[in-house]
Amino acid sequence: MPEPFIPKRPVVTAHQKLPEAVIEAEAMSAYLKSKGVDAPFGSIYDEDLRKRVRGGEFDVLIVAGGDGTVLRAGHLCAPSGVPILGVNLGRLGFLIQVNRNEWREYFDKLFNGEAWIENRMMLRAEHFRAGESLGEWRALNEVVVGRGANLRPVHLTASVDGSLLTRYLADGLIASTPTGSTAYALAAGGPILPPKLRNILLVPIAPHLSVDRAVVLAEGSTVSMTPKSENAVLSVDGQAPITLMEDDHIDVRAADINAQFVRFGDPGYFYRNLTAHMNENSLGMPR
C-alpha cells in the first residue's frame, strides 16, 4: 500500500455559484471543527483564498462539486503540491471517489491515516507562431486543436518528437492525459488509460477520410499539432478557445508538475469507480 497521508491544515472550498455545494462545504467545515480540526471555508474562486493556497498555508484542499470544479482545483493546487480531496455533488465524478452521503465517514478515515496520495500526470502546452511563443498552459485532462464554432473540418498535422506522424481532416485532435481519457477523449471514441500511466493519448474528433484510430505515445514524447487551415482554435481543459492561424503549432508534452489526489482503499478503486459509472450510464439503455 502507498504511504499514509494525514493532513494537518485543511481548507474546504466550493464553487460560489452552486448553492448546494456551498451548503455542503459549510457543513464539512463545521464537521471538521467539531472534531477539533480547524478547516476554513471559502469559494474556490476567491482570490484571497487562492493566494493562501499558492502560499502553502494548507496541506489539503477539500472541494465540493463535480468533475469541472475538481479540474479547476487541480489547476490551482498542482503548482504548489497541495493534494485535493473531492466530494461528488455532480453527475459523473470520474475524478472523485467520495460521494455526498459518504464524506463524514471518509473524513474520519482521512484523519485516522487511512488515505494515500495519487499523482496524476499533467500536460504542458505551448503555442508558437513564426518561432515566437505566444503562451503556455497546464492541462489535467486535454489540449484540443479543433474547428471551434465553424462547421468546416480542420486540416492539421501531428508530429511526434520532430517526425511527422500523420495528417488529419477532422473536427479536431485531442492530446489527452490518462486522466482525460475518461473525459472528452472517451466521448470521441478513445481508449481508457489507467491514471498511473504517463503517456499522451491522441484521439481525432470525427475524422473524415483520414486516420480514425487513437494513438498512445511513448512516455516522454512531445507532440506538435499544426493547423493547415484558418478555422482552427485551441482549447485547454475546456477553457475559452484561442484562435489559431495557419501554421501555428501547439507543442504538448508531460508537465513538470503533477496533480495530487487523496485516495482511499487500494489502487484498484479506479476500476471499481469506472465500472460503477459505466453501469449507471447503461441503466437507461434498452436491453
Find where cell 441503466 sits. Answer: 283
Distance between CA atoms of 252 and 255, rounded to whole angstroms? 9
- Beta-sheet strands, E only, within 178-266: 201-205, 215-216, 223-227, 233-236, 242-243, 249-264
113 touches 6 (CB < 8 A): yes
CB atoms within 10 A of CB 197: 16
Catalytic residue chosen out of the listed positions 38, 48, 59, 67: 67
Distance between CA atoms of 233 and 227, rounded to whole angstroms? 9
Distance between CA atoms of 214 and 190, rounded to whole angstroms? 6
Residue 212 annotated as catalytic: no
**Active site residues per annotation:** 67
